[in-house]
Amino acid sequence: MGYKAKFRVWRGEGGEGRLEDFTVEVNEGEVVLDVIHRLQATQTPDLAVRWNCKAGKCGSCSMEINGKPRLGCMTRMSTFEEDETITVTPLRTFPVIKDLVTDVSFNYQKAREVPSFTPPADVKPGEYRMQQIDVERSQEFRKCIECYMCQNVCHVIRDHEENKPNFSGPRYLMRIAELDMHPYDVLDRKESAQEDHGLSYCNITKCCTEVCPEHIKITDNALIPMKERVVDRKYDPLVWLGSKIFKR
């Protein structure tokens, strides 16, 4: 059965904006993105929203629904009470372009700063041999749809704009951890994770893991093991001795 829902949507651009109230029709089985689209079709033709697949796979429709980062296309209207006001706002950690659309280029920049997979020079494509266990360890991380909700929710940058230059965020620390686990990658990912990408800023609050729509265990399976490997390396007596000798 259809009903009328109360929506409060953030509208604005260029750093200015306000919440606007709407009453909009909802039909059975719909998701929040359907209702936003109905708003566009019937009341606010210029309402900006980014979306693409409507299947939870492109990562475009990230928004904050009642203050929580969610995919608009995967958030069923049936999860809310019919008389509840549903507040929809743009991701808070990134600058707003217009309405619900944010400029997520911070993430593209951080992606570029992670050197790509670097195999040994004497091993050619087609000659890689990996154990199944090594394949499986990183498989989970490759489910990432780059929705940036983990980046958006991490308090290190959500509340601290000044940390952005020094912190790559959970999505890219996870990428570094994935490469570090690869038996054929030869780069020193540990020092770079700590020095260049701000791994030490992460204090394991796990908010990133909680919001991941792909249910990737970012903290437990990528960030904590990476932190452990960094610590192991630091306190490895051979590494310590080497650093003393080469620093002389």
Check residue 206 for interaction with ligand F3S (CB under 6 A): yes
Strand partners, 4: 25
* Residue 51, binding choice from ligand FES, ligand F3S, ligand SF4, none, Cβ under 5 to 8 Å by partner class: ligand FES
Of 135, 45, 33, 138, give the one whose Cα is nearest residue 76: 33
Closer to ligand SF4 at the Cβ: 63 or 145? 145
Name the residue type at position 11. Answer: R
User: Is 167 one of the binding residues for ligand SF4 (CB under 6 A)?
Assistant: no
* Residues 106-165, interacting with ligand SF4 (CB under 6 A): 144-150
Contact 102, 24 (CB under 8 A): no
Does residue 212 belong to the site contacting ligand SF4 (CB under 6 A)? yes
x/- contact string, 115-154, with ligand F3S (CB under 6 A)? ---------------------------------------x
Distance CA 22, CA 27 (A): 16
Q: Which two tokens stand for residue 191?
A: 């020092």
Per-residue x/- track, 47-86, ligand FES (CB under 6 A): ----xxxx-xxxxxx---------x-x-------------
Return phi, psi of residue 206, to 5°: 70, 10
